[in-house]
């Protein structure tokens, strides 16, 4: 019972954040609630916290219980093994990449705050959020969503997707029926589509540009349950 873990502290902070944000009549679902970061000045000093904030109290508590249930070591942080225990991730072609995305560089533990930080990327953007001029760009902005996606490719963090990196992802994504040759030419062609400066790799700006027609806001959003 005496599980005093860092995660618990964070979650109380979250709860405070929610409480301070003003007494909204009800824990509104994502589509109707107005929680832009700029309007919540009481907790401005915890800026990074408001960023990672999901919408409602109940969502946070639910995710926290999920976090603890994943945390088999019961030390308040998740390790890679904890993630890998999720059976569905084993059959997800990108499972390992996504697990990796949870871990900051060089670390192999993630606490609840980090966990939420990643999940916050997937919060849908709301109407009033689009208009409001946030002090710091929220994690669920289009750019940040794309950056998250970009990082899935960019393993060496040089802010470029090289042909090799692209090939690796392609290999994960396509079936075994496609030969390496074909895959290679697909990779070449994909790079060509995006590559504007001719360095045979895709920079983040090129990545944004080539996906500018894609409705990223919708395709990279999840309704977190309450």
Binding site for other proteins (CB under 8 A): 29-32, 62-63, 66, 69-70, 83, 86, 88-89, 91-95, 98, 102, 119, 122, 124, 127, 149, 152, 169-170, 173-175, 177-182, 184-186, 188-190, 192-194, 198-202, 210-211, 213-214, 216-225
Residue 44 or 128 having the CB closest to other proteins: 128
Cβ contacts of 47 within 8 Å, gap of 6 or more? 37, 135, 136
Q: Tell which residue, 101, 40, 55, has the closest CA to residue 226.
A: 55
CB of 41 to other proteins, least distance (A): 27
Residue 43 or 119 having the CB closest to other proteins: 119
DSSP tally for the chain: helices H, then strands E: 13, 4
Return the structure tokens found at 196.
Answer: 């504007």
CA distance 216 to 197: 24
CB of 113 to other proteins, least distance (A): 15
- Residue 126 backbone dihedrals phi, psi, to 5 degrees: -100, 160
CB of 220 to other proteins, least distance (A): 6
CA distance 209 to 203: 10
Residue 14 or 224 having the CB closest to other proteins: 224
Question: Three-class SS of residue 85?
Answer: coil
Residue 21 or 115 having the CB closest to other proteins: 115
Task: Find where tokens 């075994």 sit.
Answer: 176
CB of 29 to other proteins, least distance (A): 5
Contact 166, 191 (CB under 8 A): yes
Residue 50 or 68 having the CB closest to other proteins: 68
CB of 108 to other proteins, least distance (A): 16
Residue 20 or 152 having the CB closest to other proteins: 152
CB of 198 to other proteins, least distance (A): 4
User: How many C-alpha atoms does 79 have within 13 Å on its Cβ side?
Assistant: 5
């Amino acid at each position: 019972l005496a599980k005093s873990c860092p995660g618990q502290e964070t979650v109380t902070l979250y709860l405070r954040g929610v409480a301070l944000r003003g007494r909204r009549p009800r824990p509104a679902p994502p589509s109707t609630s107005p929680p832009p970061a700029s309007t919540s000045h009481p907790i401005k000093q915890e800026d990074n916290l408001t960023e990672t904030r999901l919408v409602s109290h109940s969502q946070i508590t639910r995710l926290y219980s999920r976090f603890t249930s994943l945390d088999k070591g019961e030390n308040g942080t998740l390790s890679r093994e904890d993630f890998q225990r999720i059976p569905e991730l084993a059959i997800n072609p990108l499972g390992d990449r996504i697990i990796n995305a949870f871990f900051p560089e060089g670390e192999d533990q993630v606490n609840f705050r980090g966990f939420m930080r990643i999940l916050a990327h997937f919060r849908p953007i709301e109407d009033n959020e689009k208009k409001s001029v946030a002090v710091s760009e929220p994690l669920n902005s289009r750019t940040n969503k794309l950056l998250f996606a970009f990082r899935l490719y960019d393993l060496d963090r040089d802010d470029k997707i090289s042909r090799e990196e692209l090939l690796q992802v392609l290999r994960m994504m396509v079936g075994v029926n496609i030969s390496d040759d074909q895959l290679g030419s697909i990779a070449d062609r994909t790079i060509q589509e995006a590559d504007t400066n001719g360095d045979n790799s895709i920079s983040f700006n090129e990545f944004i540009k080539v996906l500018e027609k894609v409705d990223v806001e919708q395709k990279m959003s999840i309704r977190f349950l309450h």
